[in-house]
Amino acid sequence: MLWASASVATKFGVQSVAPLVLATVRFLIAGSGMLLFAYGIQRGNPLPKGIEWRRLTIFSFLNTALYLGLFVLALKQVSAGIGSLSTATNPLFITLLSAIWLRRPLRWQEGAGLLLGLLGVVVATIPLLEQAYATVDGLLILLGSMISVSAATVYYARYEWALPTLVINGWQVLLAGFMLLPITLLTTDLSTSQFDVRFWASVGWLIGPVSVVALQLWFGLVRVDAVRASLWLFLCPVFGFIYSALFTGEPITLYTLAGTLLVIAGLWMGRK
């Protein structure tokens, strides 16, 4: 539910500032806040060391800097509903990459659940794709972002992380902010940015419910099983359609309802 709200929140935010400005500010504030809590309030949490820095940097680049950097750029050219829809392609990429990198066998229930979920997404988005605004460039950028975050999920699942989840999340988000900062400063005309209520409301939502709460939940699921965790992403378009209908006026039709039932059936089958 929380992750699906990111598309609509981003759609509002990029009406006030350039996409990379939104992403950079979000990452720097969210990462700093989580690390301040982890080291200043909780205390006792370890600092990364040795190879952990390298792993955190690679993970940060794939999971946050590249993925969300491309995602916010894409949402300048595609609708919020399609942005939520794209998340449902992650299980396919995660399953394929897990089979290659982790040599994880695919059980028939997972394969069937995957197919049902994808079918549900296609059915639910037939009218949306006919009516929603999208460009070829925007869709290709969105595809790149989905491949990036799927690769990050499999990379994360490859290792036994000794660091607490909050520390991992805080560092990877902050590192992503520093990665994007020079690119943002070199490519963006900050004089056109409007740091208004809409911008700060968007940033606040993307930091709290999305960057902190949703990612903490996601990391917990991935540590158990990356493929089974990814099946839950099929619910993102379902909630995404609801949010898009409420806030941006995109339609909910019989196709949406039928697709939702298929998505839930696929999720149920894949987690057995």
Average pLDDT for residues 56-74, to the nearest whole number?
93
CA 148 to CA 87: how far, in whole Å? 12
Ramachandran bin of 205, using left for φ above 0, alpha for ψ from -120 to 50, beta for the remaining angles? alpha
For residue 51, name the pLDDT band (cuts at 50, 70, 90): very high
CA 216 to CA 11: how far, in whole Å? 23
Which of 24-38, 67-81, 191-205, 228-242 is the least confident region?
228-242
Q: What pLDDT score was predicted for residue 115? A: 82
Asked if pLDDT for residue 45 goes beyond 90, the answer is yes
Average pLDDT for residues 235-251, to the nearest whole number?
81
Asked if pLDDT for residue 272 goes beyond 70, the answer is no
For residue 53, name the pLDDT band (cuts at 50, 70, 90): very high
Q: What pLDDT score was predicted for residue 218? A: 86
Asked if pLDDT for residue 145 goes beyond 70, the answer is yes
Q: What pLDDT score was predicted for residue 132? A: 62
For residue 31, name the pLDDT band (cuts at 50, 70, 90): very high
197 by Cβ neighbours in 10 Å (0-12 / 13-18 / 19+) ranks as exposed
CA 62 to CA 89: how far, in whole Å? 16
CA 262 to CA 268: how far, in whole Å? 10
Q: What pLDDT score was predicted for residue 133? A: 61
SS3 134: strand
The amino acid present at 240, given as its one-letter code, is G
CA 263 to CA 88: how far, in whole Å? 10
pTM above 0.85, yes or no: no
pLDDT tens-digit map of 72-123: 888 888 877 777 777 777 777 787 777 777 777 777 777 787 788 778 777 8
For residue 128, name the pLDDT band (cuts at 50, 70, 90): low
Write down the residue that tokens 């869709």 correspond to.
Answer: 139
| CA atoms 254, 9, 178, 158: torsion sign | negative
For residue 131, name the pLDDT band (cuts at 50, 70, 90): low
- What average pLDDT does the structure give for the chain? 85
| CA atoms 120, 242, 8, 213: torsion sign | negative
